[in-house]
Structure 1
Amino acid sequence: MKFEGTDAYVATDDLTMAVNAAVTLERPLLVKGEPGTGKTELARQVAAALGTRMIEWSIKSTTKAQQGLYEYDAVSRLRDSQLGDERVNDVKNYIRKGKLWEAFEADERVVLLIDEVDKADIEFPNDLLQELDRMDFYVYETGETIRARHRPIVIITSNNEKELPDAFLRRCFFHYIRFPEPDVLRKIVEVHHPGIKPALLTEALTQFYEIREQPGLKKKPSTSEVLDWLKLLLAEDLQPEDLKRDGADALPKLHGALLKNEQDVHLFERLAFMARRQGR
């Protein structure tokens, strides 16, 4: 089982190497990078390329590791016992399977995505160490041990919002998705917007990288945002000359697709104001 990218996902050589190394080592692949650089999409494309199913566990700030294994609904069981429901005689009726349980009992090898692990409490990664290592866990309420039928391909994403524990990092194969160079970004654009006019793409990407490199920018636009921006440019049938900016008009056309907070919009408005003053 080798991942080499797909028609819908441009994977660099180092990224494909990381995926295949993690699969060979039977270790979780920990993927970091800027938001919007395709970390989550990577898991979907790995599943598509390998012809298998993906199970997605989206992590929130309130997510606990136990929820990935199972949850015991004691409240419902108590209520049913008060109502004389016969379901209370079988505790399994009140066990809710989590995403790890679902991946472990799958009939085929699946891709398990643990998305944005850094959103959870700092103890969350450590609480999953044994389960991800041994590929089994114990259900205390039923007295059974759940073992993986086929070891899933585990992909874990992080936006680097907080540091992850060393013990967790030791058990992962790590890869950082760098922001793509212009030639790679062109290939990505071609996948999503085939046949885009070269002159328009050149002008748009030139402006895009200029915006990313602007000192003082709070949030740099990402790959997903430049794809949205290009979609709008194509929908408006804009030409390369329509994108030209001068000092008096520093904001790019349809800038709402690229600049996502008022501080960055004000930054470009100030640049335009300063350019107008200097031009007097």
Structure 2
Amino acid sequence: MKDRKVLILTGTSSGIGHALAHKLTGSPYEVIITAREGSIKKLEEEFRPWKHCSLYPLDLTCPNSRQSFVKTIKEKYGRIDILVNNAGISFRSVVEHMSKEEEELQLETNYFGPMALIRNVLPYMRQQCSGKIINVSSVAGIMAMPTMGSYSASKFALEGASEALWYELKPWNISVSLIQIGFIHSESYKNVYWSKAAEHARDHDDEDYHIYYTCMSGFVEKLMKRSLATPEKIADGILRTVQKEHPPLRVPLTFDAHLFSWLRRLLPRSLYHWILYRNLPSIHDWERAAQRAMKPSTENHTP
């Protein structure tokens, strides 16, 4: 058992993580599949037949859960070689509508939790003078979109910290990679979190930001349904990264991830933002809605 490299995978209850877990069965790794307590029972039924595949409950937002999990894995398997940080959530909300608690949940799940787990495994990887850390990021980590500001903030943070880690860990023969993905052909848009204020504005057409939510929700759904990328294809790309001896820092796996990466490099920043703004769904309606909302206050201040 201790001769096989140990791979830890988070966020396996659905989507990319679930697809990757299946692709890792039968691989040369000792695969440690993690999920929250509520999802473990269902996953156990799926993965029980596989010999070198074990399931453990893990709450990334809980320090005690992270620490005891890593300690258990090290004691049982004697090593930790690969960490794939895939777990994450996404809030749909304009920045103004996010509460402090909602912001903290977004960042705790997508940034603080994964970074803390990295800190938990790093002493063992450095002791081995080898290891791989693979963080599943997003095109939202290189560009922001309206109603997804907090999600983008969490991915921008993950991108920056991962780049710093790449420099810090290279002398220890530990690689760090960012998997950059964009819109995927799936129904994961149905699983987004809505802030309380955003949910209220979405459901009431007299709210100032109502049109933002209705337009962006339809826009994202359309892009996801049209995407040629699937969770299985993304899982294949992550698996290739795992198997590479020297994986690169950034691994864009969808067309839009490649596209926006190149646009940011090639276009002047002001032109880049102007193009994106003018191509937002029904942007003229957004502007008219803002003008209507401003009109009463303007009239009240007329001498």
What's the TM-score once normalised by structure 2's chain length?
0.28
What's the TM-score once normalised by structure 1's chain length?
0.30
Q: RCO higher in 1 or 2 (8 Å CA, sep ≥ 6)?
A: 1
Considering fraction of residues, name the structure with more helix. 2
